[in-house]
Amino acid sequence: MGMPSVCVFCGSSNSVPDVFLEAARETGRTLASSGWSVVYGGARNGLMGALADAALQTGGRVIGVIPRSLVEREVAHEGLSELHVVETLQERKALMAELSDGFLTLPGGFGTLDELFEVLTWAMLGLHDKPCVLVNTAGFYDELLAFTRRAGETGFVSKESGHRLLVADEPKGAIGLISERLNGTVRAGSRP
């Protein structure tokens, strides 16, 4: 692919507070201005659309991966650099991972958590060693982070696996963590 790429997991709902939409826009702008391609779920609405539109407006390359069933419901973003249409959600996640050098998770719902936990599980099983960064915009993931600590304290998640998730409070810090991790200067588990 040439330029590095970051897979961004995030929600597609339009009914969310502006702080989350703005963080998605900032993520898109920052990735594009840093020369990184954006790989995401291919939708035009919610944080997904805000992310893609901001990256495109900043001159970035945006690659969407969307299941055919969602294209048929007319939620696919039609102005992307590339749009890959797949048959299933599993194919979507696999292709997004294949196209990416790292993973960044913005706020979202069950689908976003599914994507995050799948790539963390893949890392735990040694299927990839790509950085996984959670953006805790406005404390959105505080309870999830408390759960991950509790899972580690009680032995359900090994200490090594628990340190695979990097955390930042804002998009620029998250992108910095991915970049530093790819360059080998940040150990997993770091927090800015």
Over residues 28-33, mean pLDDT: 96
Do 104 and 9 touch, CB atoms closer than 8 A? yes
**pTM, full prediction:** 0.92
pLDDT tens digits, residue range 166-186? 999 999 999 999 999 888 754
Q: Which domains does the chain have, with CATH numbers?
A: 5-182 (3.40.50.450)
For the CA atoms of 5, 191, 137, 34, the dihedral, rounded to the nearest 10 degrees, stands at -30
The least confident of 90-99, 111-120, 136-145, 161-170 is: 161-170
Do 27 and 175 touch, CB atoms closer than 8 A? yes
User: First-to-last CA distance in the chain?
Assistant: 29
Do 5 and 36 touch, CB atoms closer than 8 A? yes
| Confidence (pLDDT) at 189 | 40
d(CA 73, CA 70) in angstroms, rounded, equals 5
Over residues 122-136, mean pLDDT: 94
